[in-house]
Amino acid sequence: MQTVNFDNLNVNAGDLVLDIGCGEGRHSIGLYVNREINAVGMDLSLEDIQTARSRIKDFSIADTNNSSCVFGAGSIQCLPFTDNLYDAVICSEVLEHLESLDTAVSEIVRVLKPGGVLAVSVPRYLPELICWKLSSEYSKTPGGHVRIFKQKELKKLIQKESVCYQSFHWAHALHSPYWWLKCMFWQREEEPWIVRKYHEFLVWDLMKSPLITRFLEMALKPFIGKSLVMYFVKDK
């Protein structure tokens, strides 16, 4: 399940891309397998890093693919890379977890090459606000979301650095109702039937991608898209 549209990254086979806050590697592995990109995934969670490394084995890699995909633990607040190194940087569903933002944003722009694309995604304001309203515990989960971004606020934050705004889109409309249901029953020790069934529906959609759910996703994204994705280009 990809949040970022790879076509908007303006990268080619052999380019170097950083996926900061990579989780279990969905974007890094996708770039490596499908675009032959040299992908570097970083995350604070050692468990997620280990899962990402093992997941690569589940994919068939073309014999002609000479790129690489590596994962390591690290913090967005202090990236262990030289300036102007990466052709593109992905920062997907990370900033909403951070108490301190300015250093993090400076770091992801610092390691990006001039002319390179920065893709940033966060939970969209309205669907996220509904989650907070439905459950007071949702935002108190250790390592969870500590802030809600409005679109203008995110754009202004990133543009403090030497970047130019390019475009935005929404993603994962079908995921919003799932999280609303989760929040409605947050205190339950066992997930209710409706939550489990909706999760099964999302897995089925991910695996089969039927036409009807693709239509629903496209129709609902402008209204309840779960994620806001914005693209910026670093000044040359």
pLDDT over 90 at 112, yes or no: yes
pTM of the model: 0.95
Query: Considering Cα of 192, then 197, then 202, then 203, what sign does the dihedral take?
Result: positive
Structure tokens at 39: 């992908």
pLDDT over 90 at 132, yes or no: yes
pLDDT over 90 at 61, yes or no: no
The helix (run of H) or strand (run of E) holding residue 153 is: helix 151-158
| Mean of all residue pLDDT scores within the chain | 96
Which residue type is seen at 188?
Answer: R
DSSP 204-228: HHHHH--HHHHHHHHHHHHHH-SEE
207: confidence class by pLDDT, cuts 50, 70, 90: very high
- pLDDT given for residue 222 in this prediction: 97
Q: Where are the domains of the chain?
A: 6-234
pLDDT over 90 at 36, yes or no: yes
Helix axes 175-184, 193-208, angle to 10 degrees: 160
Structure tokens at 56: 């690569």
**CATH no. of 6-234:** 3.40.50.150
